[in-house]
A = this chain, B = another copy of it.
Amino acid sequence: MSGPREECGIVGVMGPERAAEWAYLGLYALQHRGQESSGIVSADGARSYAHRGMGLVSDVFDEEILTGLPGAAAIGHNRYSTTGSPTLANAQPILVNYRDGFLAVAHNGNLVNARTLRRRLERKGSIFQSTMDTEVVVHLIAAERDPSRDRAVLETLDQLKGAYSLLILTPDGLYAARDAHGFRPLSLGRRGDAVVVASESCALDLLGAELERELGPGEVLKIQADGSSEVLRASPAEAECLCVFEQIYFARPDSTLFGMGVDVARRRLGRELAREHPADADCVFAVPDSSTSAALGSSEGSGIPFELGLIRNHYVGRTFIQPGQEVRDFRVKVKYNPVSSVIRGKRVVVVDDSIVRGTTSKALVGLVREAGAAEVHLRVASPPLRHPCYYGIDIPNRDELIAANMSVPEIARFVGADSLGYLSFEGLYRAVGSRDQHCDACMSGNYRVPLEPGIEEKTAFETLSLSSAP
């Protein structure tokens, strides 16, 4: 997938002297999961502190700001909006005060019954200051009558439907939870007495924490200030719905996710792809960086040499000039540089992890041809994307998804490839494990957690427009 569509990254830290610094570094390692805004809430006993801002982790925080976030407990959040507008008002973690002190929440995922819950809360007089479904979670906890915070948290979680990994920081400790189906990942690690919970294990690695295990689907864990943890609710036997797109595209290749190294999984995808769609070609290369593992696997599987046919320009800034109509597909050209000395006169296999709208693929195939390729064979390391995701991943609606509107040969013609092959579902699950355990609704349309009526209107929550100074 050549587009920058990512979800959110979360990290929780309990124990070290300056937990906010740990959270900062964890967010840093999870930057690929959200570049729109970033935030940390820390706590020092009953006092809480927050800082949030628009932009990359390294832009939002500096030493002075981190010094203003004291305490041995912290949660952090990187955001790429899936619901809610891209404004500071929607940056997480949310921090509120209520009857029982402060409450901070960081959320990765998407609730499919957020609208229903919100309407119910509004009828009772609740007010909403953002367009995030996460705000519903905070209201529900505060509205629980049960004097035990543990029970209030559990009863709230029982009302949530859909995909979530949640971190909830309170004066008594840090709650970490995954939804009953385990759509979104969450890993638990330790370094000495300090506990770290993070979306991906790569955050633990950077902090020098050892990966203990992934939280199970439906598991709710409470971590205390002394590093002790208690399983408030164990993972049920219920069917898992691990998001297969995390393995295909989202996660960082050096993470371990759903029990498997991501690089290993993608290598396998590439090998299966080579087996299913052989090509008579001189070299194989990736659309960097996310497809590189799959392309290496494809090279291994096919015996066709792996090359660096496309170089990615990592200096691409926020704004740049489009030179009129002069240069076609310029945005793609600025980002990917074809290496003519590799490509000229060759029959090439280009491996991508997925195709969304098809426009980037079309531009890339054009670039590769202009660089002198004799033949261009496009291979995609996943089945066609045909349906939107309501569980937390920003995949557009059906009318924008090329595979929802064209057959594979039509797509091949549209992008200008000599041949096009998508991985089959069988190949996909030979590579990453049992289909029963995974969610592939974006490819199959099989939404295993029922949706609220009307959820298709993506803007449900967006009637409130909030913006804040940059």
Contacts and interface: CB of A to CB of B under 8 A. Distances in A.
Contact of A464 (B95, B99, B323, B470): B95
A250 interface: no
Interface stretch (A182-190, A205-213, A406-414, A444-452): A205-213
Interface string A444-470: 000000000000000000011111111
A339 interface: yes
Interface of A is mostly: mixed
Contact of A469 (B54, B289, B464): B54
B327 A208 contact: yes
Contacts of A32: 315
B470 A469 contact: yes
Interface in A302-345: 305-308, 311, 313-321, 323, 326-327, 333-334, 337-342
A339 B261 contact: yes
Contacts of A143: 125
Interface stretch (A18-26, A237-245, A353-361, A386-394): A18-26
A11 B252 CA distance: 36
Contact of A264 (B53, B55, B341): B341
Contact of A98 (B58, B122, B289): B122
A102 interface: yes
A469 B60 contact: yes
Interface stretch (A61-69, A374-382, A431-439): A61-69
A58 B316 contact: yes
How many monomers of this chain does the complex have?
Answer: 4
Interface residues of A, number: 106
A467 B50 contact: yes
Interface stretch (A126-134, A224-232, A416-424): A126-134
A47 interface: yes
A464 B44 CA distance: 12
Contact of A142 (B126, B254, B314, B470): B126
Nearest to A207: B327
Given A125-B143, A260-B341, 12 more contacts: A51-B469, A52-B468, A53-B468, A53-B469, A60-B469, A94-B129, A98-B122, A202-B337, A254-B341, A256-B341, A264-B342, A296-B307
27 contacts: A25-B321, A31-B313, A35-B315, A51-B467, A53-B468, A54-B469, A58-B315, A58-B316, A58-B320, A65-B467, A94-B129, A96-B128, A96-B464, A98-B127, A98-B128, A102-B464, A125-B126, A206-B334, A207-B327, A254-B337, A254-B338, A254-B341, A256-B340, A261-B341, A263-B339, A314-B314, A469-B470
9 nearest interchain CB pairs? A261-B341, A58-B317, A53-B469, A125-B143, A96-B127, A99-B122, A31-B315, A254-B339, A254-B337
